[in-house]
């Protein structure tokens, strides 16, 4: 197995945090890192003890769910709550930060932002990051790098396709399945 880079490791942490999201519109995770150590993490969800979108639906005003706190804000607020300084730190996040999170990131003193997916990238947010001297870098994240069962999954898929061939399935019937397997496992 190939060892993943620090950037891949921290981005994987963000994606794991996103699985805790209670937002039904978009699951986002964020990790604050200093000296290659995780100091805080957050996901988008409701206030502690509050109603969650997964239970009560989104509370949308002006095309935004106001029930949730964004992942970046939750990570920053965790630092505030526990007295953890973030000035000079790096933020990893699954999606490009919104304008409000961008302003909070700048004010908190974060120096570097790495994001995995473009999402409504705001031009003004990019301008603010540049004006503040904060480096922003898109790092595509490949979930397969952290799927430690991919070899056995591929083996199972191939066995199933072979069994279907043995049972009389024609090549043209199997072709779409073989294409999907190849796409999933990038063969």
Residues in the chain, total? 187
β-bridge mates for residue 95, sequence order? 117
Q: Is 72 part of the annotated catalytic residue set?
A: yes
One digit per residue, pLDDT tens: the chain, 187 residues?
578 899 999 999 999 999 999 999 999 999 999 999 999 999 999 999 999 999 999 899 998 889 999 999 999 999 999 999 999 999 999 999 999 999 999 999 999 999 999 999 999 999 999 999 999 999 988 777 666 677 788 888 888 989 898 989 898 988 888 888 888 777 5
Q: How far is CA 125 from the centre of its chain?
A: 19
**pTM above the 0.85 mark?**
no
**Among candidates 99, 108, 110, 104, which has minimal Cα distance to 133?**
110
Q: Which of 2, 72, 155, 173 is an active site residue?
A: 72
């Amino acid at each position: 197995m190939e060892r993943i880079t620090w950037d891949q490791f921290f981005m994987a942490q963000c994606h794991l945090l996103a699985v805790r999201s209670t937002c039904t519109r978009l699951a986002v995770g964020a990790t604050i890192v200093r000296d290659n150590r995780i100091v805080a993490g957050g996901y988008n969800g409701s206030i502690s003890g509050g109603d969650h979108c997964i239970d009560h639906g989104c509370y949308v005003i002006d095309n935004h769910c106001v029930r949730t706190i964004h992942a970046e804000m939750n990570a920053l607020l965790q630092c505030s709550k526990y007295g953890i300084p973030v000035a000079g730190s790096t933020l990893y996040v699954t999606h490009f930060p919104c304008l409000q999170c961008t302003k909070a990131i700048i004010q908190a003193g974060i120096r570097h932002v790495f994001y995995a997916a473009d999402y409504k990238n705001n031009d003004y947010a990019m301008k603010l990051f540049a004006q503040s001297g904060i480096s922003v870098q898109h790092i595509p994240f490949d979930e397969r790098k952290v799927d430690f069962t991919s070899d056995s999954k591929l083996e199972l898929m191939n066995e199933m396709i072979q069994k279907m061939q043995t049972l009389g399935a024609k090549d043209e019937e199997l072709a779409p399945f073989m294409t999907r397997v190849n796409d999933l496992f990038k063969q």
